[in-house]
Amino acid sequence: MKMNSFIVGLKLSDTYTDTDACINDVVYAVDGTTYYNNNVTVHEKLLANNTKSGLFEPYLNATGLLYGPVADALPNCYAFLVSF
Q: pLDDT tens for residues 41-52?
A: 999 999 999 988
Q: How confident is the model at residue 6 (pLDDT cuts 50, 70, 90)?
A: low
pLDDT at 4: 62
Question: Does the pLDDT of residue 15 top 90, yes or no?
Answer: no
Q: Counting Cβ atoms within 10 Å, is residue 13 exposed (0-12), middle (13-18) or buried (19+)?
A: middle
Kindly report the number of other CB atoms within 10 A of residue 81's CB atom: 11
Quick one: pLDDT at residue 11?
66
The sign one gets for the Cα dihedral 61, 67, 73, 74 is: positive
71 in the Ramachandran plot: left (φ > 0), alpha (ψ -120 to 50) or beta? alpha
pLDDT the model gives residue 19: 81
Pick from 34, 23, 38: which is nearest to 76 by CA? 23
Q: What is residue 40's DSSP assignment? A: H
**pLDDT, position 1:** 55
More reliable by pLDDT, 32 or 8: 32
Does residue 18 register a pLDDT over 60?
Answer: yes
Distance CA(52)–CA(12), nearest Å, equals: 47
